[in-house]
Structure 1
Amino acid sequence: MLSSPSVSFGSKVLHSWGMWYLRRGYELIQRKLKQWKNGQGQHQLQRLEALWV
């Protein structure tokens, strides 16, 4: 029972880190998609979006 406060604190830290990483990853993906839209063909982009959605 002694370890439960530290466990909940650890999970909170892990959760906030996870959310930050998810947000960063999503922003990176959005930027890549914009680059693909500007550069390479639309068909490749649509295939990628189908995978992610």
Structure 2
Amino acid sequence: METLALLKEKGFKQAIITNKETRYTEKIIAAHGLGQYMDMVIWPYSSIHRKSNIL
């Protein structure tokens, strides 16, 4: 998590790209506290999903 936080602080855009279904991906991201570091999540059978606070 330290690396993710440092990259976010330095302004790097970060994303999760997965082949898991949305319902599982959201649970995994939340369980591991990754959402705060990610700017985008991409999963199958959908368009690109961006966090709601992205400009």
Considering the TM-score relative to the shorter chain, is it more than 0.5? Answer: no
The structure that is helix-richer by fraction is 1
Higher RCO (Cα < 8 Å, 6 or more apart): 2
Q: In terms of Rg, which structure is larger?
A: 1
TM, length-normalised to structure 2: 0.29
